[in-house]
Structure 1
Amino acid sequence: MSELNLARRGFLKTGAAAAAALMTSAAAHAGIPASKIQKWDEEYDVVIVGSGFAGMACALKAGRAGLKVLIIEKMSVVGGNSAICGGNVACPVNPVQKAQGIEDSKELFIADCLKDGLGINHTELLATIADRCNDTIQMVVDCGCEFVPNKMLFEAGHSVPRSYEIKAGTGSGYIRPMQAELKKLSNVTIRTRAKFDDFVLDDDGAVVGVTARTGYRFDMKLTNDDRDNKTGKAVTIRAKKGVMLAAGGFSRDIEFRQVQDPRVVPTTDSTNQPGATAGVLIKAMGIGAMPLQLCWLQFLPYCNPREKGFGVSVNFVNHACMDYGIVVDRKTGKRFMDEHAGRKIKSDALFQVIGQDENYPIAIADQEIVDSINPSFVKLPLEMKTVTKFDTLEALADHYKIPKEAFLAEVKKFNEYVKADDDKDFHRILKFNNGLSLKKAPFYGIECCPKIHHTMGGVLINPKAQVISATTGQPIKGLYAGGEITGGVHGASRLGTVAVIDALTFGMIAGEEFAKMA
């Protein structure tokens, strides 16, 4: 039996039981009664847990309304996964689409999301995103966020180009300007190395504050940092208007993620930053928040097996090779999927090819394609030697040990499909390829594989970003949430660029709800 299977069996006997016990304990604990707090150490109108897209958007709206706001972030830097993600953002029915004659609609956006989400998305949340996305884009532009002008990305799984490309090439293109705007507000405080521990509830079950620890030190060696790490000084913080959860997903929580999907072993890599753990989610469920679709874990099909975590190659594989080029099975030299399908479809196809013998498929682009994308997408991968450049397709085939004759025939066939706008093999949408195919040397190749990227499930919210109680079906007073800690928006699998608009929009809405209380 392999080492991975042994590790998996061992975990299922001990780790699953331990994690289940933790969840039972959290449910029994049900927060801290406010009556036990003799004196609050600090008081704010709004306390936000997490400093990514959702947290900063909420702080902007609440802070600009004059409310006293505190963001607590357990890591030593702000931004979480938001700062390192690709950063491109979907926005159906936007002004750039209109100027370019691209026909889109709220209904088409929802239909695209439902297709990849296997129909289990909560459409009222998708409708909210579609209705408010242009307001969201205006909010970040007003902060100084810059998009590539007059450009719409045709992201995988979407029926039409509807995604803005962030100029910075990563989510830092939002986090930095948003943080700079927040620093201008004297009533907003951002505190790093401050870890949320629990909720404080009044006699009616409303959230009126949190307990936290300042001076917290995240421990990379722990598989379960939230629940095993006791560093820092305990403080009680009153939240007079309420608490907003923006703590992200749990892709790096070895114990919790494996309980949800036992196929994921402890060594399964993730694109996420180390702080993506389940502690805040577990505490929210402990006070009655409705859990939703926790077992749906999304893999990102654009990763490189030779680098850890997100790495530097994702944008190149995504926007060069899969948007315009092809991916082939190195054993056969042939394509095996629609490279523009949704992430789940592609990840499932990649896993089938990779199999047990690590037969990593090869993603390919040519110089014309490279010239059409953001230059930074290829620069770093070339420097890090995850992408290799070749003068001929024959040299590329020799390097990756791909059957040359079959491969060259496959490239020729694909080029003909692009010219005819008709992919007879996988019915890929080619009309937005703008004639780009594989014909201009040099050519670029890279191995690709899926890694855990996004946790679909979390707590249930309504269109006002209020967290819903599993007991009453009504909002838990004083508790809001947005982004990856919530479930329902994406269903079983999310489309690329929808997570950014999801987090920013529901963060913005939560902030607007707090602003109404000012």
Structure 2
Amino acid sequence: MTNTIFVRQLKTMLTWLGIRNFTIGKRQIFQILLSLVVIMTVNASRCDADDESCVQEITDRPIIVVGSGLAGLSASIEAYNAGANVVLVEKEPRVGGNSAKATSGINGAASKYQKNAEIDDSVGTFKKDTLSSGDGLCVESLVDLLANNSASAIDWVSSFGVELSNIVFMGGHSQQRTHREPARPDGKPSPVGFNIVSALRKHAESLVGDKFAIKTGTKVERVITTKAGEDIVASGVQVSDSDGNREELIGTIVLATGGYGNDHTDSSLLQEFKPEVANLPTTNGPFATGEGVKMGRAIGAQLMHMDKVQIHPTGFIEVTDPNSASKFLAPEALRGSGGILLNSEGKRFTNELGRRDDVTAAIFAQKTTLKGVDNSPSVAYMLLNEDMCDKFGQPNLGFYKFKKLVRPVESLKDLAEEMGADVETLKETLSNYGKDADPFGKKVIPYTFNADSDKLWVAVITPAIHYTMGGLSINTQANIMADGSNRPIKGLYGAGEVTAGVHGGNRLGGNSLLECVVFGRIAGKSAATYTQDTLASARELDEPTE
């Protein structure tokens, strides 16, 4: 290999690593040796002598998106749209993650659907609700981004063929802004998270080719880094397939690996940071074990709010297995559609549309348990009538009815007996609901009950681990930040539940899917820009040097 090609490759590699202020000449022996170490560290491509195309091969690196939930899909699509090569890596056999399990909806303020429905909402009001829910712990600049980009996020998701015109109230909101799909004409369910993820997955699959790859069944084991002065520079990841074969992928990284709401591994983040809730049931899939947070931590990323774990007030109790550690989520939209919560006395005890942490605390305070069940969890009874079921969507409710998670009430007497309540007290609760000012401060009452004629449905629910607000600290460009400094880790971005700061101490319902879209798109664009800027700098330096 000629001197000129050798030096050009050294310059290119150093630039890729973020080291741009340097000189190379005949006397810079130390710098050349350092460069050789760097090349070996990042597993640079081997080149034939005098092959000038090697410079492009070294610098033409992809965006490596780790995790294929809604955040990862959003990042992948936007990075590709920005002109980048993309490799989407997923440890599970299929794309989707926890996002596909989301059932309540995605928030948007001043969206086209709200305007069509004459719902008077604003970005400012949405921001205020989010900050209030976060108990002063939200990073306000991130909340600004979330709220200001919420309407465009709804538009973007809709552009993939997902209609989000059914808008409901959720707990902690001051206006209807949680967008769901309307009932389908064919009577089939419209699970909003699954359908959004499916639409983006199909689009991503249509992009597969020379510039876009999807690797399922592939686990990322670590992030590869080097040091450049005071900076940490991420340059790739080590992955392994189901057969244990390992390889290194070199490129700019977006972590979108989700949270740690089902982390019962030997290095459990739940046990480390929130042991008092670690044994509660969870709505998370078995894959929610915090790998992204752990990998970030291992290379010096900043963690924040790790003890902030959201306990959702309503996980379904399966009558045949009430102590199961895994729960189907009873969507907040059930309460947003009018469902009420009752204790064992047949009385309401909380504002069903209050903040999630408040409703959860109220359920635990009732100390209601299942009759005849040893070690019964704390439970409450959710009651709905047909109007409420219609608002939620009968097809969507069909799955829960099929699983017997939502059951018909044969008579108030039978329900009272199951609960251990007096039937007259139960009748009084239903008859008085919504007649006067609500004793628990509930301001939105979509429907009331007729205790004598309503067809009723009941579900037994219990609080369950649902979401982890803690994770890796990011800035407004979705850069993951280094611990102990105000500097980003170069070449490393994050989006979704793996990150922290947006939700503070308590996430507002409907903000999870929105966060995935808003910050997934930002991370994808930022990663593409970083890669393009690095390549541009490398080309500026690509000139003959003696």
- The aligned amino acid for 2:197 is I
Question: Aligned equivalents of 1:291 and 1:247: distance in 2?
Answer: 15
- The aligned amino acid for 2:333 is H
Give the 3 Å change call, closer, same or farther, for CA 491–366 of structure 1 in structure 2.
Answer: same
Q: How far is 1:359 from its partner? A: 5.0
Whether the 8 Å CA contact 2:236–2:250 is kept in 1: the answer is yes
- Candidates 31, 41, 54, aligned match of 1:36: 41
Give the 3 Å change call, closer, same or farther, for CA 34–479 of structure 1 in structure 2.
Answer: farther
**SS state of the match for residue 448, structure 1?**
strand
Q: How far is 1:39 from its partner? A: 4.7
1:414 matches 2:419: no
Whether the 8 Å CA contact 1:34–1:208 is kept in 2: the answer is no
Give the 3 Å change call, closer, same or farther, for CA 100–144 of structure 1 in structure 2.
Answer: closer
Q: Which residue of 1 aligns with 2:258?
A: 248
Q: Which moved more, 1:283-292 or 1:497-506?
A: 283-292
- Candidates 333, 338, 341, aligned match of 1:319: 333
Q: How far is 1:412 from its partner? A: 1.6
1:404 matches 2:423: yes
Question: Aligned equivalents of 1:245 and 1:165: distance in 2?
Answer: 27
Q: Which residue of 1 aligns with 2:346?
A: 333
Question: Aligned equivalents of 1:53 and 1:430: distance in 2?
Answer: 31
- Candidates 178, 181, 187, aligned match of 1:166: 181
User: What aligned pairs does 1:181-200 form with structure 2 within 5 A after superposition?
Assistant: 181-185=203-207, 186=209, 187-200=211-224
Q: How far is 1:495 from its partner? A: 1.1
Runs (4+) of structure 1 moved beyond 6 Å?
none
Q: How far is 1:87 from its partner? A: 5.5
Q: Which residue of 2 aligns with 1:224?
A: none
User: What aligned pairs does 1:100-499 form with structure 2 within 5 A after superposition?
Assistant: 100-147=117-164, 149=165, 151-166=166-181, 168-185=190-207, 186=209, 187-204=211-228, 205-215=232-242, 232-239=244-251, 242-254=252-264, 255-265=268-278, 267-306=279-318, 308=324, 311-312=327-328, 314-315=330-331, 318-321=332-335, 323-330=337-344, 332-354=345-367, 358-417=377-436, 422-423=437-438, 425-430=439-444, 433=446, 435-439=447-451, 440-499=453-512
Question: Aligned equivalents of 1:61 and 1:207: distance in 2?
Answer: 20
Give the 3 Å change call, closer, same or farther, for CA 142–321 of structure 1 in structure 2.
Answer: closer
Question: Aligned equivalents of 1:169 and 1:414: distance in 2?
Answer: 30
Q: Which moved more, 1:254-263 or 1:497-506?
A: 254-263
Q: TM-score, normalised by structure 1?
A: 0.83
**SS state of the match for residue 263, structure 1?**
helix
- The aligned amino acid for 2:427 is L
Q: Which residue of 2 aligns with 1:20?
A: none
Whether the 8 Å CA contact 2:219–2:239 is kept in 1: the answer is yes
Larger radius of gyration between Structure 1 and Structure 2? 2
Question: Aligned equivalents of 1:289 and 1:403: distance in 2?
Answer: 56
Count of residues in correspondence between the two structures? 457
Give the 3 Å change call, closer, same or farther, for CA 135–40 of structure 1 in structure 2.
Answer: farther
Give the 3 Å change call, closer, same or farther, for CA 478–38 of structure 1 in structure 2.
Answer: closer
**SS state of the match for residue 248, structure 2?**
strand
Give the 3 Å change call, closer, same or farther, for CA 358–252 of structure 1 in structure 2.
Answer: closer
Give the 3 Å change call, closer, same or farther, for CA 286–483 of structure 1 in structure 2.
Answer: same
Whether the 8 Å CA contact 2:239–2:247 is kept in 1: the answer is yes
Give the 3 Å change call, closer, same or farther, for CA 127–373 of structure 1 in structure 2.
Answer: same
Identity between Structure 1 and Structure 2 (%): 25
Q: How far is 1:159 from its partner? A: 0.5
Give the 3 Å change call, closer, same or farther, for CA 511–399 of structure 1 in structure 2.
Answer: same
Q: Which moved more, 1:256-265 or 1:304-313?
A: 304-313
Deviations 1:133-182 (A, max 9, x none): 222222222222232x3x31111110000111035314111111111111
**SS state of the match for residue 180, structure 1?**
helix
Q: How far is 1:299 from its partner? A: 1.0
- The aligned amino acid for 1:61 is E
Q: How far is 1:310 from its partner? A: 6.3
- The aligned amino acid for 1:178 is L
- The aligned amino acid for 1:324 is G
Give the 3 Å change call, closer, same or farther, for CA 40–448 of structure 1 in structure 2.
Answer: farther
Q: How far is 1:214 from its partner? A: 1.8
**SS state of the match for residue 274, structure 1?**
coil
CA RMSD of aligned residues (A): 2.3
Give the 3 Å change call, closer, same or farther, for CA 96–37 of structure 1 in structure 2.
Answer: closer
1:47 matches 2:61: no
